[in-house]
Amino acid sequence: MNNKPLIQLTSLTKTFTTEAGVISAIKNVNLTINAGDYLSIAGPSGCGKSTLMSILGLLDTSSEGQYLLNGHKVHELDVYQRAEIRNKEIGFVFQAFNLIGDLTVLENVALPLTYRKMKKQDRIEIAMNSLAKVNMADRAKFYPAQLSGGQQQRVAVARSLVVDPSILLADEPTGNLDSKNANAIMDLFDELNEEGRTICMVTHDSRFAKRSSSIVHLDDGILC
Ligand code: ADP
Ligand code: MG
C-alpha cells in the first residue's frame, strides 16, 4: 500500500440556506485519504454523510475550506473544470444504483467514456472488461429492470470503475440490498481494495464498516 495523500480536506464547511434558516451540514472537517486506503464513514441519519460524499465526489461544492484531490485545488475550480476532474478521478456508487433505464447494461457502463476522445469499439472493449470484473459480462445486453438489485449494484460498480478513477466513493452501497447481495458487494469492495483501489464508503452497518481499514465518525457535521 502506498501512503501518498490522495485527498486532503482542510477546515471544510458546508452550509445550506433554506427558508427555515441556515443548516450547518459539515463543520470544519479535516480529513486525509491516502492512496490505497479503504475508509468507512459512519454516523446517524442526518449527520452530514451524504453531504460530505457529494463534496468529495465533486457533485457539490463546499462553503469554506480547502479540498485537494490528487494535486487539484478543487475549491478553486469552476464548474467545467470540476466536471472534467470528476470524470477522470471519481467513481461514485449510489444507494439506489442510479442506472439509466433506457440504456443496456453495456451502454450504462460505457457512458462515462463517451466524454473521452475514444473509438466506439475501444469504449465497448473497456466497458466489457469492467463488467467482467464484477461478473456481469453475460448480462451486457440486458436492461437494468431485468436485473436483481444486487446485479444492478454490480453494474453500477462496473460503471464507476470504467474510467479507472483515483478513488471509489460509495454512499450506502448496500442500503437497498438484502444481506446476501450486500455481502457480495462488500466482498467485491474487499477484492478491489486488495488490488490497490482506494475506497471511501458510507455505511450504516457496523459489520461492513469493520471490513474497511479505518473508520471515521460524523456527528452532527463534526468528524471524530
Ligand atoms: P446523512 O447522509 O448523514 O443522512 P445528509 O448529508 O443527507 O445526512 O444531511 C445532513 C444535513 O444537511 C441534514 O440536516 C439535511 O437536512 C441537510 N441537507 C442536506 N442536503 C440539503 C440541501 N440540499 N438543502 C438543505 N439542507 C440539506
Ligand atoms: Mg445519506
- Could you tell me the distance, in angstroms and rounded to a whole number, from the CA of residue 50 to the centre of ligand 2? 4
Predicted pLDDT of residue 116: 86
pLDDT value for 2: 58
**3-state secondary structure labels for all residues of the chain:** CCCCEEEEEEEEEEEEEECCEEEEEEEEEEEEEECCCEEEEECCCCCCHHHHHHHHCCCCCCCEEEEEECCEEHHHCCHHHHHHHHHHHEEEECCCCCCCCCCCHHHHHHHHHHHCCCCHHHHHHHHHHHHHHCCCHHHCCCCHHHCCHHHHHHHHHHHHHCCCCCEEEEECCCCCCCHHHHHHHHHHHHHHHHCCCEEEEECCCHHHHCCCCEEEEEECCEEC
Q: How far is the CA of 53 from the centre of ligand 2 (A)?
A: 9
d(CA 16, CA 218): 17
**Which of the listed residues 51, 94, 202 should we mutate to test ligand 1's pocket, taking the one with most ligand atoms within 8 A of CB?**
51
Return per-residue pLDDT of the chain as tens, 224 residues. Answer: 557 899 999 999 999 999 999 999 999 999 999 999 999 999 999 999 999 999 999 999 999 999 999 999 999 999 999 999 999 999 999 999 999 999 999 999 999 999 888 999 999 999 999 999 999 999 999 999 999 999 999 999 999 999 999 999 999 999 999 999 999 999 999 999 999 999 999 998 999 999 999 999 999 999 99
Q: Whose CA is nearest to atom 20 of ligand 1?
A: 51
User: Ligand 1 centroid to 16 CA: how many Å?
Assistant: 8
Going by alpha carbons, the residue nearest to atom 15 of ligand 1 is 46
